[in-house]
Structure 1
Amino acid sequence: MSERHRFWQRALRLLSLEIPREASSAFLDGEHSLQQEMWLRSLRKEKQQQIDMNTPLGEVSFMIIDMETTGFSPQQGDEILAMAAAKTVNGVVKETYSTLICPEKAIPPHISALTGIQAKDVLHAPRLREELRAFLSFIHGGVLIGYHIGHDLSFLRHFLWMYYRAKWSGRFFDMQPMVEMIRCCSCPTLDEALQYYGIPCEKRHTADGDVEAMAKLWKMLLEELKQRNIETLHDLYAALSMR
């Protein structure tokens, strides 16, 4: 088979994955393997899968996630410094994932002061382009959950589109409205939620430390949701929609 024939065969496969034409060139060089295509295909397949809304909450794989970033806007050049996740079932942590990320630009001093992440810490860490696929593979098939999870999702979606021209549209929940629904009062920060439930967090503002604390918080919230007869995904969506 000629190289030209292989090129067009590969281009057609990429089109079948719904990768836009302007992004296809990034996948047609020798650095991207058939494994890369298979991963993109699985990502597309996951988007098409529907989770049964009558599934009991205790049977759902909830992926608790957290990211440390250099700011609030990936569109303005802010980057991811660390990512962590924990797979939980019925409030029990089954697997964990965490990594530092080497950013393209220098870490702002105030971010180092907040997170404790210094330039020397990320010197040998992977670039986000290298590690994003591992993170996505870990959370694959689960329902994402976190405190102010919109921040993490904005970065996830931005860089997934930037690097792969792919969209992520999986299910997710924010813990904040759950806490406020149960407490019947405002609870704008994770610190306040942890204090209310008496959960210590020695590594606050680190991705793995925050995920560990949120896993404990989620276990408590899950019990309280069940006590309120909120037992399925449908029940949880309905309860949150009433707020």
Structure 2
Amino acid sequence: MLKFRWLIFVTIVAVSKTTFANLPETIKTVQPSIVGVGLYGKLNRPSARFLGTGFVVGNGQYVATNAHVIPELVPSDKKQNLFVVVGKGRNPPTRRAEVIAIDEEHDLALLKISGKPLTPLNIERREVYEGEKIAFTGYPIGSVLGYYPVTHQGIISSITPIVIPARTAKELSIKQLKQLKNPYLVYQLDATAYPGNSGSPLYLQDSGKVIGVINKVLVKSTKESILSDPSAITYAIPIKYLLPLLESVRNKTN
């Protein structure tokens, strides 16, 4: 009987260690595909400004991020250039970037980067459920302490509408009214993201496959505008809304 109990104990410990080991291995695989997104201008002070996080997708020459991360002045202002930070450290290598596709409704953007292709993250195409263990990696406080990716973990706590109808029409903004015409679901997480995390990939702990894009602006501005103080809840846009952008880029290059 004692031997049997000991066998059960050893098995439980072994399974626990294996489960715990999944996330460290996943982070190691995901990190090389995480980039910082910034804006450079000779006349800017400082000359380089951190904007948010992005991650490599597609053929390794594209970076996904939030649309709100990208300044509107970039397409017409030749004195300033977008760039992405590749690697870790105080002064990691950078690549020039340009905007090639934007989806304002879902707050998503695709950038094309210069140089050799990087390692893209895999995208999970199956349905995702509440309670699944997730993680996201990005730059929560920008470049203040150097470009060292930070990972947060948690679960999908809810799959919820991006906007909740208000008690009266007066409580709805123009943006909310537009969202109510074409509502869609987003992921609500029990892990806290910060402004610099905008554009970070939300991925499954065991596989590293991306299921969403962390969003710190669009969802809160529509879902929580009635609150006097925004909550600490973190949301993510489902990855399925990025797929049309990738497909449109592939069609242009074929």
Q: Give the number of the structure whose residues are more often helix, by fraction.
A: 1
Q: When the two structures are superposed, what TM-score results if normalisation uses the length of structure 2?
A: 0.25
Q: Give the number of the structure whose residues are more often strand, by fraction.
A: 2
Q: When the two structures are superposed, what TM-score results if normalisation uses the length of structure 1?
A: 0.26
